[in-house]
Amino acid sequence: MPMKACKKNNPGPQTLFSNLRIKNASDRLTIIILLISLLLALLIILVSTQFGSLFTLVRSSDFPVGEVAEKDFVVERDILYTDEKATLIKKEAAEKLVHPVFRVNEELIRHSLARFDEFQESFIQLLQEETPLDTIYLKIQLTFPGILENRDLDELYSFPLLENLFSQVRLLLEEVLQIGIINLPEQTQELFSAGVINVWRWRGGRLEKEEYSLNDVLTLRSITDWLEKNMDEYPEESAELIRSLVEAFAVENGFIDLEQTQKQKLRAADKIEPVMAKLVEGQNIIRKGDIVKEEAAAQIKAVGDYSANINLISISGTVLLILIVFTFSLYILDKRIIKIQIKRNEIFFLALAALFYLLYSAVLSKFFNPIEGVPFSVILPTAALSILVTLSISANVGFIFTFILSLFLLPIIKLDIHSFLFVILTGIAGTAVVINAEKRIDLIRAGFFLCLINCLILLALGFLGNYQNRWLLPAFGWGLLNGFLSSLIGLGFLPVLEHLLNASTRFRLRELADTNAPILKRMLTLAPGTYSHSISVANLAESACNEINANALLARVGAYYHDIGKIDQAEYFIENQKSYNKHDELKPSLSVAVIKSHVKIGIEKAKELALPPDVIDIVAQHHGGGIIKYFYQRALENDKKANVTSEDYSYPGKRPRSKEAAVVLLADTAEAASRVLKKPTIAKLEKFVWNIIMEKITSNELSDCNLTLKDLEDIKKSFVQILGGYFHSRIEYPRVKEETH
């Protein structure tokens, strides 16, 4: 693994913020603008997703029941609502299925048994006192009026085993009372629609709950039948008398508990889940001229209620998603991932492009939709933005920007997977078709490819959605229109974007690489030696950048313009001097001031020409902070007091920060120094170039770039090949013996 010739960055998480190198008010302004962009994006997305809640346009009063509808009512989005009528019917059914509760009164059981015991005791006492039968009749009627008929008292008076009989009657009476003799009120017959009741009784210290069919309920009317069914074991001669006694003392002791029954009904109704109905987007609830029915009015009211409610859960999810995507964007746009450092004006452009895209999408989503089956995103200029970002910044940023846009778009397109896929795929296609574009006319050719790719994407989505064949032609029409307009937008807005961003696009660089540019013609006229030197440096730099996969076109343009600061003082630079050297009459300090000034003048001229920042950086960094050795040595020789410092005789420029700037620095040094070589050979050139490279390494001139030792080796080979071509007429190739030596 090659070692780097520059300083290693400290490890740790990097973000777009770290790329900005926040140090001053301008950097803080950048962060503020980014945060404002985030807030605006949130506002656009939330207004779009909560539009119906914020701007309620549905009024049920516009559609009164029984009146003629004055307009159509079409559902704008899928909603689930509670069908109140169906829910009410369901609850009523559940309530009717609740069995009424009857409670057996324990106090009445005790009272009835006590009365029977009193009767038993009185009757036996009268018999023991040998009271005449007529008197017994009267006394029993006095104490228990109408309790028994006279014939029953006659049988009881003459029954041989009376105590045994009374014991059997009491047991049977207690059983009947414990079961419960139910009172079925006629005024609450609707409670018995299910034909079943619940009987609650206390027995043995615990509450028993038992269901009875109405046909099986024990009442005063049915007690005789019950006794007949349950007295098979009793002797026939006593059975009739026992039944009479039981019936005489049996009383109704089971009564309906309306409060408990109502609680049971309410509990059953509460358990019923609301009946949910669905209205789908595009559903026509009522047409103009139709009579508004209750069902339609209820649906319109449901749409209005749904629209008026702000969905806090949806808002929370949307905000969380946008924050996650924003944070993800800061990290994925790290220099280590996209391979370039995004400039501030490019950040502003990306933010504005994203906001425009979201606003455009939000507006169209409310007022326009393509035909059924065609994803909504087919009307969005996604590929146009991808093309502009790719050409003005880089392909990596183009791919990433497309993906980020698709994530931001998810809430607006209501998580529609087909629209999401089309955004990603057409955006990637937009980036891919212009990666190798060299001329503006190539964008037209790229547009045709984009149209074809869009059609293929829609065809695949159509297969996934099982759409019918008649859908195919309109879908292809939308795909062709999207691709054509995207390429047209890209072609039309690119020059504007190049001017606004002052971007070093390949088209702009090709225009700047034209040697017929006025500034280069002026250089040819006033500083022909500098012009020749710049052309040679451009050839060296372009060749080397091709070898190390750097931007060769940028390096060539940077080399053309790197010495434009020499034009106005051309005679002070040796390549433009023929016989007379002006520096022979100047002090070293004055000479070095003139030499150093060409960098500053060059930067000023580059800014006047509105050259891209990347080119200006090459102009500013093509000498780095290197020492101007010739005049430094002269100063040391002339100044006996040794008041000379290397800083006074060094270029004021910054060290190269890009591969292209570093290559131009090396090419500039190698080309200038090679002019003094005598009888250069390949071996001499290799040693010569490598010494220049090592000198720059040891003086830390390459410590801020990203060149590796392998890159430097490739640069050396490229320089040797080009320089060897320059000196081909004088090269003395070494013998094999010399090479082995």
Question: Does the structure show a pLDDT above 60 at 17?
Answer: no
End-to-end CA distance of the chain: 29
Strand order in the sheet with 206-213: 206-213, 196-203, 101-104, 254-256
Strand partners for 276: 82
Query: Given pLDDT bands bounded at 50, 70 and 90, which one contains residue 11?
Result: very low
What single string gives the DSSP state of each residue in 704-737?
TS--BHHHHHHHHHHHHHHHHHHTTTT--PPPHH
| Helix/strand/coil for 548 | coil
Query: Given pLDDT bands bounded at 50, 70 and 90, which one contains residue 401?
Result: very high
- For the ranges 98-102, 295-299, 388-392, 505-509, the lowest mean pLDDT is seen at 295-299
| pLDDT value, residue 599 | 84
What are 531-564's pLDDT values in tens digits?
888 899 999 999 999 999 888 999 999 999 988 9
Residue 505 Cα distances to 41, 423, 445, angstroms:
28, 25, 18
**Distance (Å, whole) CA 508 – CA 495:** 9
Query: Given pLDDT bands bounded at 50, 70 and 90, which one contains residue 308?
Result: low
**Distance (Å, whole) CA 14 – CA 11:** 9
Residue 369 Cα distances to 56, 306, 307, 622, angstroms:
20, 22, 20, 55
542, 556 contact by CB (below 8 A): yes
- Residues contacting residue 491 through CB under 8 Å, at least 6 positions apart: 440, 443, 444, 447
Backbone torsion region of residue 409, taken as left when φ is above 0, otherwise alpha when ψ lies between -120 and 50, otherwise beta:
alpha
689 versus 593: which is more confidently predicted?
A: 689
Question: Does the structure show a pLDDT above 80 at 249?
Answer: yes
**Distance (Å, whole) CA 359 – CA 533:** 52
Identify the sign of the CA torsion 617, 623, 627, 630. negative
Q: What percent of the chain has pLDDT over 70?
A: 85
Question: Does the structure show a pLDDT above 60 at 2?
Answer: no
What single string gives the DSSP state of each residue in 394-414?
-HHHHHHHHHHHHHHHTTTTT
- Residues contacting residue 385 through CB under 8 Å, at least 6 positions apart: 353, 357, 401, 402, 405, 427, 430
Find the mean pLDDT for residues 565-577.
Answer: 79
**Mean pLDDT taken over the chain:** 81
Residue 46 Cα distances to 52, 296, 414, 632, angstroms:
11, 30, 12, 66
| pLDDT value, residue 7 | 42
723-727: long-range pairs with CB below 8 Å, 24+: 723/540, 723/670, 723/671, 723/674, 723/680, 723/685, 723/689, 724/680, 724/682, 724/685, 726/536, 726/674, 727/674, 727/677, 727/680, 727/685
The tokens describing 106, both together, are 């324990």
**Distance (Å, whole) CA 198 – CA 258:** 12
| pLDDT value, residue 736 | 47
Q: Residue 429 corresponds to which amino acid? A: A
- Residues contacting residue 515 through CB under 8 Å, at least 6 positions apart: 521, 535, 560
Find the mean pLDDT for residues 474-490.
Answer: 88
213 versus 25: which is more confidently predicted?
A: 213
Residue 204 Cα distances to 178, 201, 213, 234, 676, angstroms:
11, 10, 24, 27, 124
Question: Does the structure show a pLDDT above 60 at 483?
Answer: yes
Identify the sign of the CA torsion 201, 206, 209, 212. negative
| Helix/strand/coil for 287 | coil
| Domains, the chain | 16-50+312-502 (no CATH), 52-83+275-308 (no CATH), 508-740 (1.10.3210)
**Distance (Å, whole) CA 388 – CA 381:** 11
| pLDDT value, residue 453 | 92
Q: Residue 387 corresponds to which amino acid? A: I
Q: Residue 602 corresponds to which amino acid? A: G
| pLDDT value, residue 570 | 76
Residue 731 Cα distances to 291, 680, 734, angstroms:
102, 6, 9
Backbone torsion region of residue 707, taken as left when φ is above 0, otherwise alpha when ψ lies between -120 and 50, otherwise beta:
beta
| pLDDT value, residue 3 | 41
Strand partners for 578: none
What are 57-106's pLDDT values in tens digits?
555 555 676 677 767 666 766 677 778 888 888 888 888 888 899 999 99
**Distance (Å, whole) CA 79 – CA 300:** 12
- For the ranges 125-134, 248-257, 470-479, 731-740, the lowest mean pLDDT is seen at 731-740
| pLDDT value, residue 451 | 92
The closest of 463, 457, 475, 485 to 384, measured between CA atoms, is 485
| pLDDT value, residue 729 | 46
| pLDDT value, residue 646 | 67
The torsion defined by the Cα of 556, 559, 564 and 569, in degrees rounded to 10, comes to -140
| pLDDT value, residue 714 | 92
Question: Does the structure show a pLDDT above 70 at 36?
Answer: yes
Q: What percent of the chain has pLDDT over 90?
A: 17
| Helix/strand/coil for 182 | strand
The closest of 439, 720, 472 to 553, measured between CA atoms, is 439
The torsion defined by the Cα of 225, 230, 233 and 236, in degrees rounded to 10, comes to -20
475, 458 contact by CB (below 8 A): yes
46, 315 contact by CB (below 8 A): yes
Pairing mode, strands 101-104 and 196-203: parallel
Phi, psi of 374 (to 5 degrees): -85, 125
Question: Does the structure show a pLDDT above 80 at 645?
Answer: no
| pLDDT value, residue 52 | 56
Phi, psi of 56 (to 5 degrees): -70, 120
Helix (H), strand (E), coil (C) string for 579-597: CCCHHHHCCHHHHHHHHHH
| pLDDT value, residue 584 | 66
| pLDDT value, residue 495 | 84
**Distance (Å, whole) CA 663 – CA 666:** 5
Residue 252: exposure state from Cβ atoms within 10 A (0-12, 13-18, ≥19):
middle
**Distance (Å, whole) CA 622 – CA 606:** 14
Identify the sign of the CA torsion 65, 71, 73, 76. negative
Find the mean pLDDT for residues 686-705.
Answer: 87
462 versus 471: which is more confidently predicted?
A: 462
Q: Taking the CA atoms of the chain, what radius of gyration do you get in angstroms?
A: 51
Alpha helices (H) in 21-105, listed in sequence order: 25-49, 51-54, 84-96
The closest of 539, 574, 594 to 723, measured between CA atoms, is 539
**Distance (Å, whole) CA 195 – CA 100:** 10
| pLDDT value, residue 449 | 92
**Distance (Å, whole) CA 539 – CA 722:** 8
Identify the sign of the CA torsion 587, 589, 591, 593. negative
Find the mean pLDDT for residues 703-721.
Answer: 89
Backbone torsion region of residue 52, taken as left when φ is above 0, otherwise alpha when ψ lies between -120 and 50, otherwise beta:
alpha
382, 426 contact by CB (below 8 A): yes
**Distance (Å, whole) CA 323 – CA 332:** 14
Q: What is the DSSP letter of 244?
A: H
Question: Does the structure show a pLDDT above 60 at 54?
Answer: no
What are 321-343's pLDDT values in tens digits?
899 988 888 888 877 787 777 88
79 versus 734: which is more confidently predicted?
A: 79
| pLDDT value, residue 740 | 38
